[in-house]
Amino acid sequence: MNIQWYPGHMTKAKRAMKEDIKLIDLIIELVDARVPLSSRNPDIDELGAGKARMVLLNKSDLGDERYNNAWASYFEEKGCHVIKVNSRTGSGLKQINSVVQEACKEKIERDRRRGILNRPVRAMVVGIPNVGKSTFINSIAGKACAKTGNKPGVTKGNQWIRLNKNLELLDTPGILWPRFEDQQVGLRLAFIGSVNDEILNKDELALELIGFLKKEYPQVLSERYGITDGEDIAVLGQIAQARSCLARGGELDLGRAANLFIDDFRSGKLGKITLEFPPQP
């Protein structure tokens, strides 16, 4: 599969981010715990050079805990402060304020020496589409400050949100990069729903995911669907049978089965699954 998706508003959003970077002390970057590297926009490192950095491993409840911990160590070694969070339930969010203070202690101390007291840390919240930025902001603010949706690209503009006297957040639209050099990155983002489903071949996507699970999490298919083995297309047929996906005349509806299977993965019904692993040193 060749996956490319870069809506026009993202070019404008990137230009705006370049301007807003001058206003902030800290970048809070949300990544999807199932694909932490693939769900990072590499432009952020360039845009945020010299700023304090925090990485939130969001949707950590959906990721394999062994790899959640391995990824946390990976980002910490890169100089980032890391928290495992679940923005929907609020898990991990109570740590945010204390970690922000730790990440920005040099800035806070510098202000104190200049006689500037109680100036809030200004943090930019960044992340690719559908990684959970707006849900995170609404959860931590305790109110609906940002629009949310299960489709990528809901947030279209920037907005400031004052959380408390110590912290202000700048919400930004999710931006992808113009071209995926590595098609595996595009594939992983399609799995988690960060690429618009309307441009995808869901049957092919399901077969790719089946191939990955057979290799890395073989027990998942047997536990969820009672499948033991078979070619990828045969496995999709067995999923169709298990989920009663039948077309007229009793034929298997593989398209419907593919959609249900991908939804099962995205919602966590297949269990805790991580799709990429930290690079080996």
β-bridge mates for residue 86, sequence order:
91
Tell me the fold of 9-171.
Rossmann fold (3.40.50)
Taking the model in full, what pTM does it have?
Answer: 0.86
pLDDT digits (tens, 9 = 90+) for 132-146: 888 998 899 886 565
Residue 125 pLDDT > 50, yes or no? Answer: yes
- Average of per-residue pLDDT values in the chain: 86
Residues sharing a CB contact under 8 Å with residue 281, sequence separation 6 or more, in sequence order: none
Domain with CATH 3.40.50.300 in the chain: 9-171
Report the alpha-carbon distance of residue 131 to residue 169 in Å, rounded.
17
Asked if 4 and 180 count as a contact pair (C-beta separation under 8 A), the reply is yes
Residue 237 has pLDDT above 80, yes or no: yes
Q: Where in the chain is the domain with CATH 1.10.1580.10?
A: 201-266
> Which tens digits make up the pLDDT trace of 16-51?
777 888 889 999 999 999 999 999 887 788 888 889
Is the domain defined by 201-266 classed in CATH 3.10.129.10? no
